[in-house]
Structure 1
Amino acid sequence: MSYKSFPNPVRVLARQSQETIISTAWDAAEFLRRWPGTRGRAYRVAVQHCLDALDGIRPAKAAYRSFTAAAREAGILA
C-alpha cells in the first residue's frame, strides 16, 4: 500500500503542546482519529479526503489541503 506523500510536511500541535509532523495521507488519517481540536466541517472533509487519497480516488495534494485547512480551523497548525 502506498502512503500517498504530502507535497510538504505539516506540523501540528498534539495534546500538551507536543508537535507532530504529518507527511502522508496515512499519517493524517491516523492523526485525525485522535484529533485534539474541534470536529467541524473542515475536520469531516479532511477525514474523507485522506481516506479517498488512500483509496486512490483523490490525489494526496487534495488531502494535504484539506488536512491543513482543518488544522488551521482548529488552531493546531504549528
Structure 2
Amino acid sequence: MRKTVSDKRFPTPVRVIVRHHQENIIATAWDAVEFLRRWPARRGLAYRRALQHCLDALDGIRSAKKAWASFTAAVREEGLLA
C-alpha cells in the first residue's frame, strides 16, 4: 500500500487558537503546511523552520515527529498554542 501525504501523522495533534478564539486541530504535516501558509503571526525563524521541516516530512526527508516539534515550537513562540 502506498503512503499518501495524510499519512505523515504527528505524534499527537496540536491545538491552535487563532482570531476570535477559533480552534484548529493540526494532526498531520500536511495540515501544518496548510496552516503555516495562512500563518496569522510574525514569520520569524521558528515559522520558517517549521514550514521547512513540515515540507521535508512530506517529501520523506525528515520525520513527522521532527516536523511536529518544529511546528509546536513556532506555535508556542507566537502564543497560538491552545
The TM-score by the shorter chain falls in which range? over 0.9
1:24-39 to structure 2, matched below 5 A, reads 24-39=28-43
Q: Tell me the distance in 2 between the aligned counterparts of 1:16 and 1:33.
A: 19
Question: Which residue is 2:24 aligned to?
Answer: 20
TM-score, normalised relative to structure 1: 0.96
Runs (5+) with no aligned partner, structure 2 = none
Aligned residues: 78
**Runs ≥4 residues deviating over 4 A:** none
Shift of 1:37: 1.5
Identity among equivalent positions (%) equals 69
Amino acid at match of 2:5: S
- What amino acid is the match of 1:2? V
Superposed CA RMSD in Å reads: 0.8
User: 1:14 deviation in Å?
Assistant: 2.0
CA distance in 2, matches of 1:70, 1:42: 5
Match of 1:10 in 2: 14
1:43-62 residue CA offsets vs partner (Å, 9 max, x unmatched): 00000000000000000000
Separation in structure 1 between the aligned mates of residue 53 and residue 38 of structure 2, nearest angstrom = 17
**Equivalence for 2:62:** 58
1:40 aligns with 2:44: yes
User: What's the offset of the Cα at 1:17?
Assistant: 1.4
Q: Distance in 2 between matches of 1:66 and 1:52?
A: 12
2:71 to 60, 63, 67: 67
Unaligned runs of 5+ residues in structure 1 are none
